[in-house]
Amino acid sequence: MSLAPADPAPARRPFAIDPLVVAFLALVALVFGMPWLKPVFAALFPGQERPLFEQDSFWSLTLAHIGLVAISSAAATLVGVAGGIFVTRRSGREFRPLLETVVAMGQTFPPVAVLAVAVPLLGFGPAPALIALALYGLLPITEATVAGIESVPASVREAARGIGMTKRGILFGVELPLAAPVVLSGVRTSVIINIGTAAIASTVGAKTLGLPIIVGLSGFNTAYVLQGALVVALLAIVTDLAFDRLGRHLGSWKG
């Protein structure tokens, strides 16, 4: 994935072969139809006495996984966009190196290490996972916000000032709307990364699609690992396609 704006919208496809619709239906079918796939996994893994993960439903795990990613991504978006705006203002430019260092550390610091530090302070559950995921998702959003705002031509800002717009009006009426496709590409990258990373949250007691993966790894049950990984992968594909669709919509609006 790139931080560049999405390409212009392609020709409209028939509904039946729309990749987003097909991927979404495949995800729904897999989440709700997993119990009916038990004979398939039993055939694929004949050595497993329990070839299907049944400790929790994949529907509830998927909802919990989406909730964890949504909350952490919303926090990362709020902080990342606000930080990006601040360092592109005259009063905040001197803090740009500091912000870049902090957000870079947030992504280079392994989420597992953040969980290890946060659990003694916050206990087991979703709280330490939310902190780790929010920190991990800050870098692409902040970088995209700065790049998007800086890509707005100076002549456009001058024209806005020429018609009497205030600094706030230029930011919210000109800069952010024009930067929106680039900012969205950063949010897209952050969310997709966090969908995969959220699986490790089950190591600290959070309910996610990582639960069958971790139980499978600890119990040498490859069928469980495959079931969790398939749903996580399809969820990431559906989300990526949805962001792609939204990016094309913003790109066509901007054009």
Two tokens, residue 22: 């097909």
User: For residue range 151-182, what is the model confidence (pLDDT) as tens digits?
Assistant: 999 899 989 888 888 889 999 999 999 999 99
Report the C-alpha gap between 88 and 83 in whole angstroms. 9
User: For residue range 221-249, what is the model confidence (pLDDT) as tens digits?
Assistant: 999 999 999 999 999 999 999 999 988 88
Give the torsion through C-alpha atoms of 66, 42, 40, 18, to 10 deg.
20
Helical segments of 89-221, H only: 96-108, 111-122, 126-136, 138-150, 154-162, 167-170, 176-197, 210-218
Give the global pTM.
0.85
Model pLDDT, residue 1: 44
Residues contacting 174, CB < 8 A, separation 6+: 152, 156, 157, 160, 165
SS3 content of the chain, % helix, strand, coil (to 5): 80, 0, 20
Model pLDDT, residue 2: 44
Two tokens, residue 103: 């957000």
Report the C-alpha gap between 255 and 83 in whole angstroms. 27
In which residue ranges of the chain is pLDDT below 70? 1-16, 251-255
Q: Using alpha carbons, list the distances in angstroms from residue 255 to 12, 105, 178.
A: 18, 36, 10
